[in-house]
Structure 1
């Protein structure tokens, strides 16, 4: 029996883990132990996802959710190390690019426990993003690298992984597995009076919320789009809300509390356009056939830009409004199964179980 310690801590990881854990349960010879760092800690950002997605309650709960990047990662590293020493897993499984990801990978590597990284090889080529630092370092200490796309695999090959003692595999994206599996369970957010032909917006990246000039440009664009193009519906991340208030900005769009995954799926499926700075939401827009305008200067999902499904506009008010007008209510198609067509979790578990050809 192979024992796997899965490290999760943030919303996208709960969704990814839900489909992989389901596949693990259906496989023979794998025992999974779930550790939740607590990085997303309030009920709307964490508990609701476990309830909706049917993820087993974590075996280990660290409740680490405050402090600087270094402090948070350091505390996680120390506690995950203790968990590894106690439970003695054969492998540690990490997802994505958060502080929880990096802490889990480093703790395992220092204890000589093999690391599998789901969503390996993604690169925005912007080292000012903490996520870019996390994903690069995690890849470097992993021996199983599960790439969601060909461009991710190409990135690792360019970085010399062909010569390393690591297995690099393109398996597809587990977020597409989740979108397809949970689409029929989508529900409208409670209390939302749905505006006609609305635009969905999410905003939380530190590069935007912690930069007053960028934040002001984005908020001005959202207000103008809401007034002149189409209603904007925006689930507001707690940190984003605090940043807007701190900057003394007035945001005149339809704001709602953070939503669970099923509500987010409903919003994605019914909107006419997605505006976001989230890596995950860029893909989810594509899964539901919606064009995306991305409030960043770079993206790790370059294939979406190349396919014309995603436009990068940064934080410039006029660029944002112009892109919205070009793309609103435009449908996009996945003609080439860019993300694996919903079979990624099974492919990952086959490798973990030693059943892959």
Structure 2
């Protein structure tokens, strides 16, 4: 009997995580995998373009619950997802990452007695001021199956009292997606990229992303970061697909970049990959880029005080710079000295995590 699995995607990073899981489901005859997209993003265009770009179809279910406060957004998703589950009766719900839809759909499913599998389980930053940390902790507190990307995830889950029989180290689906799309950057695709001419003209450059409220919503913090980036760009041009939130706050605070920081609208996943994979350094506050840069051996400087992905520091190419301009300048300088090294090897970061996930899920569903 075919089992129905709901695969939940929320914000933009979720799409990159569910894409390889969905693609791998095509080779599993015993399941009917349906993607549920909650539309959790402030700029719908930013997410919509990703479906084709990531080699996945438009989701059958699209909620469009993308606005409001954390509570409004979470509540709206829970109401819509409850109705969906009661009508469609999935046998299992798979959630990924740590966005509001991850928490909302997990809680809703479990209250309907539907088992939940959490991909990227056990990641912890230790900072409960981060909404994502709350989402991770709540989701893991009620999930049935836990799929971890690194040993720290398993250690955290065991420390929190989870059954070791329900924890599976499968590797990193972000890396599955990365390797899949590196192979799709052929000349015919690249020729149509809007940023191709800028990349070729610039030569050596750094790539950056910046979007976290803790970095961009505080004027003093944002000024310090921008001052550091302007200084760095005097010797190394920076390419920055600027997040709508960051652009909004910079205008509000009257903060501007130098002419050597090249800003442009958000890019598709592949176009962004096309830029950062050849950068001398990546400067970011993103979680996913810490992992992806490690997988390709690109030096990464993370503009945060903590990270839920410590393996990228211990075994990868990532370093925490904090949020002060002085520290960012120092760590970027050190990163540029490291540029050009080989990509480290991390267990399970081989492009086949999704296949391992489905092996576990098929066995789990067969027993129900």
Q: TM-score by structure 2 length? A: 0.92
Q: Which residue does 1:225 correspond to in 2?
A: 232
**Cα distance in 1, alignment partners of residues 70 and 297 from structure 2:** 35
2:54 matched to 1:49?
no
2:107 matched to 1:106?
yes
Cα offset, 1:193, TM superposition:
1.2
Q: Which residue does 1:169 correspond to in 2?
A: 168
Cα offset, 1:352, TM superposition:
1.0
**Cα distance in 2, alignment partners of residues 109 and 210 from structure 1:** 35
Q: How does 1:286-301 map to 2 (within 5 A)?
A: 286-301=294-309
Shift of the 308–269 alpha-carbon distance from structure 1 to 2, 3 Å rule, reads closer
**Cα distance in 2, alignment partners of residues 56 and 335 from structure 1:** 33
Check the 8 A contact 2:145/2:167 in 1, yes or no.
yes
Q: How does 1:26-175 map to 2 (within 5 A)?
A: 26-40=27-41, 42=43, 44-162=45-163, 167-175=166-174
**Cα distance in 2, alignment partners of residues 207 and 300 from structure 1:** 16
Paired residue secondary structure (1:270): coil
Check the 8 A contact 1:201/1:232 in 2, yes or no.
yes
Q: How does 1:201-216 map to 2 (within 5 A)?
A: 201-216=208-223
**Cα distance in 1, alignment partners of residues 317 and 100 from structure 2:** 29
Check the 8 A contact 1:148/1:170 in 2, yes or no.
yes
2:261 matched to 1:262?
no
Cα offset, 1:310, TM superposition:
1.4
Paired residue secondary structure (1:326): helix
Shift of the 338–255 alpha-carbon distance from structure 1 to 2, 3 Å rule, reads farther
Shift of the 183–102 alpha-carbon distance from structure 1 to 2, 3 Å rule, reads same
Structure 2, unpaired ranges of 5+: none
**Cα distance in 2, alignment partners of residues 45 and 39 from structure 1:** 11
Shift of the 247–338 alpha-carbon distance from structure 1 to 2, 3 Å rule, reads farther
**Cα distance in 2, alignment partners of residues 11 and 182 from structure 1:** 16
Paired residue secondary structure (1:354): helix
**Cα distance in 2, alignment partners of residues 331 and 303 from structure 1:** 20
**Cα distance in 2, alignment partners of residues 72 and 355 from structure 1:** 31
Shift of the 243–53 alpha-carbon distance from structure 1 to 2, 3 Å rule, reads same
Q: Which residue does 2:310 correspond to in 1?
A: 302
Cα offset, 1:162, TM superposition:
3.1
Check the 8 A contact 1:147/1:172 in 2, yes or no.
yes
**Cα distance in 1, alignment partners of residues 266 and 131 from structure 2:** 23
Residue 341 of structure 1, aligned match among 332, 350, 358: 350
Residue 324 of structure 1, aligned match among 290, 313, 332: 332
Residue 241 of structure 2, aligned match among 229, 235, 248: 235
Count of aligned positions:
353
Check the 8 A contact 1:176/1:339 in 2, yes or no.
no
**Aligned CA-pair RMSD:** 1.7
Shift of the 205–41 alpha-carbon distance from structure 1 to 2, 3 Å rule, reads closer
Cα offset, 1:284, TM superposition:
1.1
**Cα distance in 1, alignment partners of residues 329 and 96 from structure 2:** 34
Cα offset, 1:203, TM superposition:
0.4
Cα offset, 1:46, TM superposition:
1.1
Check the 8 A contact 2:298/2:343 in 1, yes or no.
no
Structure 1, unpaired ranges of 5+: none
Cα offset, 1:288, TM superposition:
1.6
**Cα distance in 2, alignment partners of residues 238 and 335 from structure 1:** 33
Q: TM-score by structure 1 length? A: 0.95
Q: Which residue does 1:193 correspond to in 2?
A: 198
